[in-house]
Structure 1
Amino acid sequence: MENTIHLQSQVADDALVKNLNRIFDPVPVPIILLNKHTEILMINQPFADYLGYSREEIMGKRVDVVDPNTRFPYVFKSKKPEIYCKHKFSNGHTALVHRIPVLDDNGEVAYGFGMVVFDDLRSLQEVLERNKLLEGKLMIYQEELKNIRGAKYSWDTIIGNSLVMQHVKMMSSKAAKTDSNVLIIGESGTGKELFAHAIHNDSKRFDGPFVKINCAAIPKDLLESELFGYEEGAFTGAKKHGKVGKFELANGGTIFLDEIGDMPLDMQVKILRVLQEKEIERIGGNRTIPIDTRIIAATNRDLKERIKEGEFREDLYYRLNVINIEVPPLRKRKEDVELITLKLMEKLSNNLGRYVSNITVEALESLKQYNWPGNIRELENVIERAINMTDTESIEMQHLPAFMISEPSDELKDTPLVSLRTAVEEVEKTTIHNCLKAVSYNKLKAAKILGISRTSLYEKIEKYHIDTPN
């Protein structure tokens, strides 16, 4: 009986494949259908010819045997389609492809559908030129211009629910609603640039340009021309027709001056004039150009110390420091490490094409205990390394760098043990005190952030003998 049913099923499958071949062979587009095991269930003749095989050679084989570069196994695990993706086949052809997982009623992958949209990237250009798709080209150019001159990140990009991050986000959100200059300070790798992007995107200038320049990365003798531009013939080697500077490019939008603390003193004078006069003058020019640009500056330097050392102008500092935002280092918000780690795993798994979605409790605890001198940038490097080291879908202790796997310090070993109730009360007391301090002891705001009533807050302040200025 079972043999009869199996035979009937095989006959039905063969009939299905024949019908699919009849349907898709005349279609002049390479098409493939996989079963849930990534085995080739159907491939039309154009796709077989494109791969350089006869259909009989590859039917029933796993797709990664036919094309070792395939990303279908990853797509099956992620259950997310990949549309218009560039792919280089093992035979050397490069194409734009679709990879689509087909899910059953239980949300599991039942089939995989693939299609080569352009079997040669040059053919895409030919199609555009032949049909004169000027509107399509314009949209592409506009998108590229937005990527170059636009802000990419928003508040959702900035990960962290700790009290200190909630306060920084609140301050930054208020800064976005004004047109005042903003100074963002924080250690390297804390995400200062993300805040600059988010402030711009949440401001009234969101549809204007967002132009960024790293003041420490550009040689001193080139920085002025980058910021203010130059006229034709201004100096030897100057471009014909001159060059537009960053301030002009940012007109109507925001200019982000990263690493402002490393800007040379003579350039600081020129920036101060821009802030005062709202106009610039190109190198070699004889006319002033009015500009409407908001300045967001960032630095990992202590500018007050730089002022004492004579390396930074005090008047420029106060012009820039209208709204001050201090981005905390990762070691001061370790409660955010888990959330950031999971987000980085998702992002990096997709970039690397390796499906790693889990991390053991021990490995996560090790990440939380580490002090992260390189902040989020260092954490991202550690996670990327771990994803490359693991052969499974999970990050374990052995996948972390050796310097993160250590014995507990003597200080921790000597820490006295306390009851769970005492430990909870200590955490509660510290959390309430930090929250009150973050909102300048505004009890109504603190109660809202803590998620308790104002009456409960007063009771806990009295219980823990928390000093408040008002």
Structure 2
Amino acid sequence: MIDKSKDHHVIEQELKKDQVLASVWDVLVDNPHEGMVVVNKQGYVVLVNRTYRDVVGIKRRRDAIGKHITEITPHTKLPEVIRTRHPILYDFWEVNNHKLIVHRIPIFNGGGEVIGAIGKSLFADTSTRKLLGLKLQQMEKELELYKEEVRKIHSAKYSCDNLIGESKQIKEIKRLAKKVAPSTSTILITGESGTGKEVLAQAIHNASNRKQFSFVRVNCAAVPENLLETELFGYEDGAFTGAKKGGKPGKFELAQGGTIFLDEIGEMPLSMQSKLLTVLQERELERIGGVKTITLDVRVIAATNQNLEKMVKAATFREDLYYRLNVINFKLPSLRERPEDIPLLVHYLTHKLNKKLNSKIEGYTEKAMELLTKYHWPGNVRQLENALERMFCFTEDRVISVEHMPFLENILNDAPKLAKQQTLAEVIGKTEKEVILKILHQVAGNRIKAAELLGIHPSVLYRKIKKYSI
């Protein structure tokens, strides 16, 4: 505390020796543009410039130094800044008919301890206030624009009405989806590729009380292994070389209040599975390089086309994570398991594609619809939509007939052979393994070079090598 018994000249000399004041003394004294005052930890004035004294009506410096700031400025907020350790910026303040814009900033020593505070006031005439007001309005408009763009990016557009079908399986899935939507329980959706796992996830989100918040999708197979942690959990400024200034929030933070959809969860590396498990258990996370714990309010929906139970037995997927995800399970049926839904899907997709392609397809012949219904569609709804789009692009007719789908007719005419065929996933896997083996042989086992030639990230190649036991 300041010793008031000392002569004010002695006090000033002592103050100038202080390491904090020494660095700001020349800037503060005789600055006609800003009024400035510095107080110590107890709130006593240790430095004040002429502009500040003029504002508060004090002629001599000796009448301010050593006094508590509340004696000079009764409504000051500097003691609050010292107590909370947080600055108060751009505050409008009026004193003695002077309109000011005030910054109040805490002063820290090298050890992070608050040792005082600075008050800085800038004169605000009418034109200055108008200019600041216009800038603030513009910033608010830009912020709303950015918020709207984020909402568009992280939004769910599908509802239960987009789960097309009248089969027993689809009706039951719709019923259960509406029933579990209001809860916060974690959901696992399984099913072959193209069965509509993301459509179901979005439908559950839109049927919940979280629908006004974000639906954030993460494809665990598409993000390189070394980037997946930062993608999910974010990072702080300076967390690593090349880190974005100011840091970056992860997908979990972006999904606060809403839903995060972890697609292709079976492709997540084991090293990340343990970290995800911790987040799901604790419902909190820390950004990479950060120390602050962020509490999460996020509904988790995961999806995969793989058999996680087999992966657990093979030790390629954590058993504890599987049970944490598999609280509520939905298994979407393939099209070959619900052929009665195909005509409904065809009509729905026809309307969708007519709008997308500006085409005018009116319907299908009886034989054409029979052919579409008989085909087993290994790629499910996605393959059906792609096949219809190809037909629409190559025909000028209004009605689709068998002549427009020779590829299906040829396959169905060879039905006995079709029964012995491998599934699409098996064929793709076999081909992928052969290509990887061939490229590795060409580059003498150099995996970095092989990944470059294959056009994939090395981490993706490593996972496939492990998957196919190469």
**May I ask how many residue pairs the two structures share in their alignment?**
281
Measure the CA separation in 1 of the matches of 2:335 and 2:188: 20
Kept after mapping to 1: 8 A contact 2:211/2:258: yes
> How far did residue 407 of structure 1 move?
5.8
Partner of 2:152: 147
Structure 1, 325-334 or 166-175: larger mean CA deviation:
166-175
Do the aligned partners of 1:158 and 1:194 also contact (CA within 8 Å) in 2? Answer: yes
CA-to-partner distance for each residue in 1:311-364, whole Å, 9 max, x for gaps?
Answer: 111011111100000011111011010010111111111111111121111111
* Aligned equivalents of 1:366, 1:138: Cα separation in 2: 53
How far 1:292 moved relative to its partner?
Answer: 0.8
Whole-Å Cα distance in 1 between the matches of residues 227 and 321 of structure 2? 21
Q: What is the CA-CA distance between 1:403 and the residue it aligns to? A: 3.9
**Following superposition of structure 1 onto structure 2, how do residues 315-330 of structure 1 map, counting pairs within 5 Å?**
315-330=320-335
Q: 1:31-82 CA distances to partner (integer Å, 9 max, x unpaired)?
A: xxxxxxxxxxxxxxxxxxxxxxxxxxxxxxxxxxxxxxxxxxxxxxxxxxxx
Once residues 236 and 192 of structure 1 are traced to their aligned partners in structure 2, the CA distance between those partners, rounded to angstroms, is 37
Question: TM-score, normalization: structure 1?
Answer: 0.57
1:206-285 mapped onto 2 (5 Å cutoff): 206-285=211-290
What residue in structure 1 maps to residue 344 of structure 2? 339
Question: Which residue number in structure 2 is paired with residue 302 of structure 1?
Answer: 307
Could you tell me how far apart the structure 2 residues matched to 1:188 and 1:216 are? 13
Secondary structure, aligned partner of 1:180: coil
- Quote the Cα distance in structure 2 between the aligned partners of 1:191 and 1:223: 24
Shift of 1:149: 1.0
SS in 2 for 1:366: helix
2:212 counterpart of 1:204: no
Q: Unmatched 5+ residue regions in structure 2?
A: 1-136, 418-470
Provide the rounded CA distance (Å) in 2 between the counterparts of 1:286 and 1:142: 27
* Distance in structure 2 (CA, Å) of the matches to 1:283 and 1:139: 28
Question: What is the letter of the counterpart of residue 211 of structure 1?
Answer: V
Q: Secondary structure at the match of 2:157?
A: coil
Please list, as runs of the form range in 1=range in 2, the aligned pairs for 1:441-456 lying within 5 A after superposition: none
Q: Does 1:373 align with 2:415?
A: no
Corresponding residue of 1:387: 392
The 8 Å contact of residues 161 and 336 in structure 1, kept in 2 or not, is answered as yes
Output the amino acid matched with 1:209.
S
Q: Which runs of 5+ in 1 are unaligned?
A: 1-131, 413-470
Assess, with a 3 A threshold, how the Cα gap between structure 1 residues 406 and 186 changes in structure 2: closer, same or farther. Answer: closer
Q: What is the alpha-carbon distance in structure 2 between the residues aligned to residue 361 and residue 319 of structure 1?
A: 48
1:356 and 2:361 correspond: yes
Secondary structure in structure 2 of the residue aligned to 1:324? strand
Change (3 A) 1:335 1:133: farther
CA contact (8 A) 1:397 1:405 kept: no
* 1:57 aligned partner: none
Q: Identify the residue that residue 102 of structure 1 maps to in structure 2.
A: none
Provide the C-alpha distance between the structure 1 equivalents of 2:194 and 2:201, rounded to a whole number of angstroms: 14
Deviation at residue 401 of structure 1 after TM alignment? 4.3
Q: Which whole-Å CA distance do the structure 1 matches of 2:359 and 2:142 have between them?
A: 33
CA separation of 1:386 and 1:279: change in aligned 2, threshold 3 A = same
- Distance in structure 2 (CA, Å) of the matches to 1:192 and 1:165: 12
CA contact (8 A) 2:187 2:302 kept: yes
**Do residues 286 (structure 1) and 291 (structure 2) align?**
yes
Report how far residue 147 of structure 1 moved: 2.0
Q: Distance in 2 between matches of 1:391 and 1:286?
A: 63
- What CA distance in whole angstroms lies between the structure 2 residues aligned with 1:234 and 1:349? 49
Q: In structure 1, give the amino acid aligned to 2:214.
A: P
Equivalent-residue separation in structure 2 for 1:324 and 1:148 (angstroms): 27
Q: Percent identity?
A: 53
CA contact (8 A) 2:371 2:408 kept: no
TM-score of the superposed pair, with normalisation by structure 2: 0.57
Aligned partners of 1:342, 1:253: CA distance in 2, in Å?
Answer: 33
Alpha-carbon deviation of 1:136?
8.6
**3-state DSSP class of the match of 1:328?**
coil
Cα 1:409–1:349 change in 2 (3 A) is same
